[in-house]
Chains A and B, each alone.
Chain A
Amino acid sequence: DGGITQSPKYLFRKEGQNVTLSCEQNLNHDAMYWYRQDPGQGLRLIYYSQIVNDFQKGDIAEGYSVSREKKESFPLTVTSAQKNPTAFYLCASSHQGAPADTQYFGPGTRLTVL
């Protein structure tokens, strides 16, 4: 089945550690996105990528890094510089080029800093 997978579902991190969240899609979508969701707030964009080997910062990129070496994969690294990393992280993808393209989401990763 086509879709977006994220792993792990739950992730625990000690303060000062970097962690990487995985996002894979087999929808042949060009664009991929990372969002952060906090309680009582909507989703906020961390990074996005429209094409392989290229990505752009979103509204809250500080303390995060990404790579896009393959079309199917867009991993997010939460670095120790991120001051409040405990949150729910959602990956999304969409076609690129047609204005009406809709973003489709993965099941998310819950990150908790101990």
Chain B
Amino acid sequence: AQTVTQSQPEMSVQEAETVTLSCTYDTSESDYYLFWYKQPPSRQMILVIRQEAYKQQNATENRFSVNFQKAAKSFSLKISDSQLGDAAMYFCAYRTVYNNNDMRFGAGTRLTVKP
């Protein structure tokens, strides 16, 4: 079974600085999707960014970018110019292309942004 590991339960960053959240996953599949979701204090899960495994180019969404290392099975999230509103739990998730319904989540990283 696929597993997703987030080794940093908590991280903190100074406002306007850059922070990187780590995620590793275990799979024998070659095609899959990786996601980062944000869960602010309201607890609604919000999609931050998505990466298709067959794409070599790292996905970016404004201040959010990923470093996807397929051979190392690593999928880190970089947040640039951190803002107070970025404070949240961040979850890494994996899904195979063969089963839309089997999404695997990591345990999450709580990000604190210091003013």
Contact = CB atoms under 8 A, between A and B. Distances in A.
Interface of A: 31, 33, 40-45, 48, 50, 56, 58, 88, 90, 92, 94, 96, 99-108, 110
Contact of A99 (B42, B44, B100): B100
Interface string B1-13: 0001000010000
A100 B43 contact: no
Contacts of A96: 100
Interface of B: 4, 9, 33, 35, 37, 42-47, 50, 52, 91, 93, 97-98, 100-108
B101 A50 contact: yes
Among A33, A42, A56, A102, chain B packs the most CB atoms within 10 A around the CB of A42
A33 B101 CA distance: 8
A100 B47 contact: no
A56 B101 contact: yes
A100 to B, nearest CB: 7
B101 A104 contact: no
B45 A90 contact: yes
Contacts of B107: 40-42
A102 B43 contact: no
Contacts of B46: 105
B45 A45 contact: no
Contacts of B98: 99
Given A107-B43, A107-B44, A102 B35 contact: yes
B43 A88 contact: yes
B33 A42 contact: no
A31 B101 contact: yes
Contact of A43 (B50, B52, B91, B100): B91
Nearest to B4: A42
Contact of A42 (B9, B91, B100): B91
Contacts of B33: 99-100
Given A40-B107, A42-B91, A48 B101 contact: yes
A102 B4 contact: no
Contacts of B45: 43, 90, 92, 105
A31 B95 CA distance: 15
